[in-house]
Amino acid sequence: MAKGDICHIELHSTDLAATRTFYEKAFGWTFEIIPGFETYAMFRTPGGLGGGVDSGPNAEAPSGTGPILHIEANDIEASLKAIEDLGGKTVVPKTKISDAFGFFALFLDNVGNRLGLWSR
């Protein structure tokens, strides 16, 4: 990693177990609870990017505002269906950016965090 690279992403949750299940099933992320930090789960995406989900007493509430993390998807419509089946909500359906830049969509996860999907 180089200076200026994104090194950690943190999401907030009101239900850590449900949030873990949501991202495991929707995107294939894996989680680890570090002993002594039972309200915080570290995650890894299939490509290796890491972060955490904080459900502790000092965590801010999940938010539908602020910066948007985009997750790469092979099929945005199928991903949105899975997200909705797991308790999430589509905010912006699959939308074309351009021929060169593909498509995006926005969704709320099962606890209210706003994220995006992107595909060619």
Which CATH number fits the domain that encloses residue 90?
Answer: 3.10.180.10
Which residue type sits at 43? F
Asked whether the beta carbons of 117 and 79 are under 8 A apart, the reply is yes
Residue 26: CB partners within 8 Å, gap ≥ 6?
Answer: 79, 82, 83, 86, 88
Q: Total structural domains in the chain?
A: 1
Domain that residue 95 falls in: 9-119
pLDDT of the residue at 1: 64
Q: 64 and 57 in contact (C-beta within 8 Å)?
A: no
pLDDT tens per residue across span 38-92: 999 999 999 988 899 999 998 999 999 988 999 999 999 999 999 999 999 999 9
In a domain, 24, yes or no: yes
Contact 28, 46 (CB under 8 A): yes
User: How far is 109 from 89, CA to CA, in rounded Å?
Assistant: 7
Asked, for residue 109, whether it belongs to a domain, the answer is yes
